[in-house]
Amino acid sequence: MKKLIPFASVALSLFAFAVAFKDLSHVYFLNDEWLQMGDVFTKGLYAGIRSDILLQLIGRFRFIGSLINNVFFYYFPGNAMPFVLFGYIAHSLNIILTYYLVKKMTKNLLLSLICTLSIAIPTSGQQALSWFSAVVQTTVSITFVYLAFLFRPLTLAKEKKIFIVLSLFFFYIAFLFKNSCIFALPLLLFFPYFFSQNKVDPIYFIKKYTAFFLLFLGFVGWNMYLLFQFRSISEIISATQILIRIAFNSIWYPFISISHMMVSPRSLFHISERFGVFLYQFLGVAANKDILVVTIVSDMISILLSFLFIGFFLFVYVKMKHRRKLFIFGLLWYVLSFLPMAMYLPERNTAFLESRYLYFSIFGFGLIFSVTVEHMLHTLRGFIGFKPSISIMVVLLSLFYWKQISFVQRDVYENVLYSKDIENLISDMNNMLPKLPEKPIFYISGDRNFFYQNNMVPFQYGTGYMTLMAFRHRSEIPKKLIRDTYLSRFLEEGYTDFGQEGFGYYWQKESLCNLFRNSSLRTDQIIGLYYVGNERKLTDITDGTRKEISLKCID
């Protein structure tokens, strides 16, 4: 029976993960992926990988992750399946490793199960899996971090050198995948202090691993230096401001994100809107209501929720005397994991930090949460006995995780919808235009805005670049422009011509008209497309556009 529980727990977590991410295989490339795909398409397998080995080895450019991405793009062009499979496998691995790591730390099956479930259903960090730009680096990086912790011997007495070396080696690999995991290094070095049976003096660790701590500080300092690089007095002043900002954010981000660990952005925004309209009468009629709701009002709700959570956790900390070290470890993990964000993320777009960054933090939060669940179980058992309390907790947790799963499902499904629009539009374009004219000039219009005013198609990158990518296999499309990421910003338009090849994209008829007024281009270069936004239907308006341009703009 005892042997069966770990197996069942892991199976349950894997099942929960599979249910939560059931739609992952329908997700397609959204935004940054297209840029990398274009890069690999034009430059080959080693696109974007710098040759200076030293910088690579000290973790500047995440070359392992980039290489794996390139392999996927190179050998499976236009296919998202490798990323999906990679995400599934890496996250499953993470789930299994989490279970055994927590079991190693606490020797408690309940804590292991709860923490693993929190990892399996990463409400706040789902983007690490559902956004393919991030999936390889983020998930594998933490896999190796887990491995490093698993291999680190807990007792100092029986310390075996080889395990320590292995542990540090794994950590280094994790570092090469994503350098922001460096935050866990102090925790790794201090690991026995938290979970060893015999008491150890913390000074002992600092003395023993001085070199590593210096390395860690050196790395942080070097990154700080790269961030500032001041050359004049005014830059030093602004550097001080940046320093204050970093100090503030390294407390502020972890604080406000506590409430985001278990709530999806959409639900929070919904609550915020109702709350805000009640509280501030001017908000109900304000033109900028949406932006205020997702920033300030959401911040307020988050602060309130974080307040509640912290109060509750504090209570648990005071009550659960024998779990305090675990609690502190979880808290340190959680807070430290925000350090890279505090340095590199000066401002948030909404109350939420980017979801993929939170993937690391969930483990720390999971530990705290599992202790909380244990405490609740203890308290309940004191009142109503063992079996009823277990059954009540099972019901409560099922409800809770069911809600969490539905949060993740909805967020993933949102990405499915976005990427389906992109995928369909690209295939529609290809079907509609089996043959392109030479030096094509696209005029694409529509009846609805996507994401931005005047962005009439559901692309999450500049429509000009996305059109280049949509037709990248055609001989009429100049590869040089893909390499130069031509027209990759939102609402950029223009035309480039170099000898044999050329390409243009416009969304404003006036600009297109001006182009023809001042040059000797032929109107049969023009391709006109019209996107009926709400029906997601593409229509060909080439003839009309050509006629209009030749009538109005060519004398």
Nearer to other proteins, 282 or 383 (CB): 282
Indicate whether 245 belongs to the interface with other proteins (CB under 8 A). Answer: yes
Indicate whether 297 belongs to the interface with other proteins (CB under 8 A). Answer: yes
Q: How far apart are CA 24 and CA 131, in angstroms?
A: 10
Residue 364, token pair as written in the block = 């720390």
Indicate whether 314 belongs to the interface with other proteins (CB under 8 A). Answer: yes
Among 49, 200, 224, 277, the residue binding other proteins under the rule CB under 8 A is 277
Nearer to other proteins, 97 or 316 (CB): 316
Residues β-bridged to residue 536 = none
| 540 phi and psi angles, rounded to 5 deg | -90, 120
Asked if residues 76 and 99 have their Cβ atoms less than 8 Å apart, the reply is no
Q: How far apart are CA 284 and CA 269, in angstroms?
A: 15
Indicate whether 500 belongs to the interface with other proteins (CB under 8 A). Answer: no
Residues β-bridged to residue 504 = 441, 495
x/- track of binding to other proteins for residues 330-369 (CB under 8 A): -----------------x-x--------------------
Question: How many residues are listed for the chain in this entry?
Answer: 555
Among 234, 288, 431, 534, the residue binding other proteins under the rule CB under 8 A is 288
Indicate whether 307 belongs to the interface with other proteins (CB under 8 A). Answer: yes
Nearer to other proteins, 31 or 350 (CB): 350
Nearer to other proteins, 51 or 281 (CB): 281
Number of residues that bind other proteins (CB under 8 A): 26
Alpha helices in 107-209 (DSSP H): 109-120, 127-130, 132-151, 161-177, 185-195, 202-208
Among 74, 163, 219, 275, the residue binding other proteins under the rule CB under 8 A is 275
DSSP 2: T
Q: Which long-range contacts (CB under 8 A, 24 or more apart) does 539-548 make?
A: 540/432, 540/433, 541/445, 545/443, 548/509
Nearer to other proteins, 81 or 314 (CB): 314
Indicate whether 292 belongs to the interface with other proteins (CB under 8 A). Answer: yes
**Quick one: which segment of 30-38, 156-164, 287-295, 531-539 binds other proteins (CB under 8 A)?**
287-295
Q: How far apart are CA 466 and CA 462, in angstroms?
A: 6
19 CB-near residues (< 8 Å, 6+ apart): 405, 409
Among 12, 200, 239, 296, the residue binding other proteins under the rule CB under 8 A is 296
Closest contact distance (angstroms) between CB of 225 and other proteins is 24
| 503 phi and psi angles, rounded to 5 deg | -160, 145
Q: How far apart are CA 40 and CA 73, in angstroms?
A: 7
Among 25, 295, 485, 550, the residue binding other proteins under the rule CB under 8 A is 295
Nearer to other proteins, 237 or 314 (CB): 314
Closest contact distance (angstroms) between CB of 344 and other proteins is 16
- Helix axis angle, 109-120 to 386-432, nearest 10°: 20
Nearer to other proteins, 224 or 300 (CB): 300
Paired sense of beta strands 441-446 and 526-532, if any: parallel
Asked if residues 459 and 489 have their Cβ atoms less than 8 Å apart, the reply is no
Nearer to other proteins, 137 or 372 (CB): 372
164 CB-contact burial (10 Å; exposed 0-12 / middle 13-18 / buried 19+): middle
Indicate whether 213 belongs to the interface with other proteins (CB under 8 A). Answer: no
Binding to other proteins in span 473-492, by CB under 8 A = none
Q: How far apart are CA 293 and CA 270, in angstroms?
A: 9
Q: Is the dihedral of CA 235, 237, 240, 246 positive or negative?
A: negative
Nearer to other proteins, 211 or 287 (CB): 287
Nearer to other proteins, 269 or 442 (CB): 269
Q: How far apart are CA 531 and CA 534, in angstroms?
A: 9
**Quick one: which segment of 302-310, 406-414, 507-515, 534-542 binds other proteins (CB under 8 A)?**
302-310
Nearer to other proteins, 120 or 341 (CB): 341
Closest contact distance (angstroms) between CB of 271 and other proteins is 11
One-letter identity of residue 489: R
Among 67, 166, 246, 286, the residue binding other proteins under the rule CB under 8 A is 286
Indicate whether 452 belongs to the interface with other proteins (CB under 8 A). Answer: no
185 CB-near residues (< 8 Å, 6+ apart): 171, 212, 215, 216
3-state secondary structure (DSSP) of residue 57: helix
Indicate whether 544 belongs to the interface with other proteins (CB under 8 A). Answer: no
Indicate whether 246 belongs to the interface with other proteins (CB under 8 A). Answer: no
Which residue's structure tokens are 């789930």? 95
- Note the residues at the interface with other proteins (CB under 8 A): 245, 274-275, 277-282, 284, 286-288, 291-292, 295-297, 299-300, 303-304, 307, 314, 347, 349
